[in-house]
């Protein structure tokens, strides 16, 4: 069910000139980047730098005001009018893992995972349940399938959220600070699942404040500041030997707090 790594570079995501404003606040200022198929890209940067908004534009949860974004085989020029079917087709190419789990409280773990494939994708329930059972085993929750979210820890709820995103068979998986709402002792279990997905060759874009995790899991790191990508490269380049003074200041504060 995973997306295997390919030998030739194939870009799963291509974004060009992406802009987004909320009122007078310009959050994204002509952002451009690419994500290769079967790779993990992490987005780091200070609060308010546009990280989450950039991620949400990749799924049109926040519609860009301008720019072109292609995810897999679907491209949208956000400077022109778009129809609801076009946006739905664009959104169907990716799965989104939220900070706060966003599980249905009145549904069991299994019901949460199968909701999208059965209701939205109209796939046969028996087939979806079999796949969901495999996914719950993959994230270490096969024994929790009949429990409800309130019976789970925060880390377990987040792992259900990951399984729910994967159940849609997305070409791209988006993570919005997946550990920010967790107690420190629960962070590791979620990061471990994401690392496994990276090893398996899923295409991932992850907004995170876990710098050491970004260094371990990433093929590409993007450092954002004031609505632009100020620096990009491998983890060794951006985190290990940043070229920009602003990047160095940010990493110094995160890695060596007072």
Q: Which domain holds residue 30?
A: 11-93+170-255
* Domain-located, residue 244: yes
How many C-beta neighbours within 10 Å does residue 150 have?
8
**CATH number for the domain including 199?**
3.40.50.300
* Domain-located, residue 129: no
- Residue 170: the pLDDT is 95
> What is the arithmetic mean of pLDDT over 2-17?
74
Does position 1 have pLDDT exceeding 80, yes or no? no
Number of domains in the chain: 1
User: Rg (Cα) of the chain, in Å, rounded?
Assistant: 18
Q: How confident is the model at residue 196 (pLDDT cuts 50, 70, 90)?
A: very high
* Domain-located, residue 160: no
- Residue 15: the pLDDT is 98
How many C-beta neighbours within 10 Å does residue 163 have?
28
* Domain-located, residue 76: yes
* Domain-located, residue 40: yes
Say what the alpha-carbon torsion angle 197, 96, 35, 5 is, to the nearest 10 degrees. Answer: 30
Q: What angle do CA 85, 90, 93 make, to 5 degrees?
A: 130
pTM for the whole structure: 0.92
Does position 3 have pLDDT exceeding 50, yes or no? no
- Residue 8: the pLDDT is 65
* Domain-located, residue 162: no
* Domain-located, residue 47: yes
Q: Which residues of 129-144 are buried (b: 16+ CB within 10 A; e: fewer)?
A: bebbbebbebbebeeb
Does position 28 have pLDDT exceeding 60, yes or no? yes
Q: Is the dihedral of CA 162, 216, 18, 177 positive or negative?
A: positive
* Domain-located, residue 181: yes
């Amino acid at each position: 069910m995973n997306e295997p790594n390919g030998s030739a570079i194939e870009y799963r995501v291509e974004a060009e000139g992406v802009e987004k404003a909320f009122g007078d606040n310009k959050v994204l200022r002509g952002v451009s980047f690419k994500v290769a198929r079967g790779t993990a890209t992490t987005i780091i940067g200070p609060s308010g730098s546009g990280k989450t908004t950039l991620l949400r534009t990749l799924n049109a949860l926040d519609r860009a005001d301008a720019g072109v974004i292609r995810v897999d085989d679907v491209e949208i020029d956000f400077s022109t009018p778009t129809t609801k079917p076009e946006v739905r087709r664009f959104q169907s190419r990716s799965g989104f893992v939220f900070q706060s789990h966003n599980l249905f409280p009145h549904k069991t773990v299994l019901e949460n995972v199968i909701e999208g494939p059965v209701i939205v994708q109209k796939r046969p329930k028996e087939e979806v349940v079999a796949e969901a059972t495999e996914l719950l085993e993959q994230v270490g929750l096969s024994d929790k399938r009949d429990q409800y979210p309130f019976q789970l820890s925060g880390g377990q709820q987040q792992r259900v959220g990951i399984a729910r995103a994967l159940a849609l068979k997305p070409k791209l998986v988006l993570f919005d600070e997946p550990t920010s709402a967790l107690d420190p002792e629960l962070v590791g279990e979620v990061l471990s699942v994401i690392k496994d997905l990276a090893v398996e060759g899923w295409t991932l874009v992850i907004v995170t404040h876990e710098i050491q995790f970004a260094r371990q899991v990433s093929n590409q790191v993007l450092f954002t500041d004031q609505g632009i990508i100020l620096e990009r490269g491998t983890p060794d380049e951006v985190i290990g030997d940043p070229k920009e003074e602003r990047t160095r200041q940010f990493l110094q504060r995160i890695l060596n707090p007072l």
